[in-house]
Amino acid sequence: MVSGRYFLMRGQTNSAILKPKLQRRLRKALTKEEQKLWQRLRSNQLNGCKFRRQHPYFSFILDFVCLERKLIVEVDGGQHSDSTTDTQRDAFLLQGGFCVLRFWNNEVMTNTDDVVAMIWRNLEDRKQHHPHPNPPLEREGET
């Protein structure tokens, strides 16, 4: 979409992800933790924001991303503890203007409401505040 808000994402995905349709395979094989969180993020349920799951970005596949607010949510298992790769990945995503939230699998399963509340707060923090298109004139409306 050329004039839409997703234009910047076009052409940034690595062909190694696109050709084997990796993101599609991952969408069909969500972990139970990802499925639980997806039920709370899908269909603009959270703050009216649209999330995508298993979204390709350069050579990465993002678990969940709200492109409008540039918020990424990752659900991590034990294999991610002390991961230098994740640290490098997050630094790259931060350079792209994204905020990355990481939650452990057990957090999603046992504290889903707290996880969702944290995501909601970050969505609010990243909301674009546009000035009023027709601000009132000075002293207008005063009696």
Compute the half-sphere exposure of residue 99: CA atoms within 13 Å on the CB side of its CA. Answer: 16
pLDDT digits (tens, 9 = 90+) for 86-140: 889 999 999 999 999 999 999 999 999 999 999 999 999 998 766 666 666 666 5
Within-domain flag for 16: no
Within-domain flag for 118: yes
- The answer to whether 74 and 63 have CB atoms below 8 angstroms apart is yes
Q: How many domains does the chain have?
A: 1
- Segments forming the whole domain that contains residue 106: 30-125
- The answer to whether 2 and 11 have CB atoms below 8 angstroms apart is no
- The answer to whether 74 and 60 have CB atoms below 8 angstroms apart is no
Within-domain flag for 2: no
Provide the H-helix boundaries in the chain: 15-18, 22-28, 32-41, 84-95, 105-110, 112-125
Within-domain flag for 134: no
With 0.75 as the threshold, say if the pTM is over it.
Answer: no
pLDDT digits (tens, 9 = 90+) for 7-17: 444 445 556 55
Provide the CATH number for the domain around residue 115: 3.40.960.10
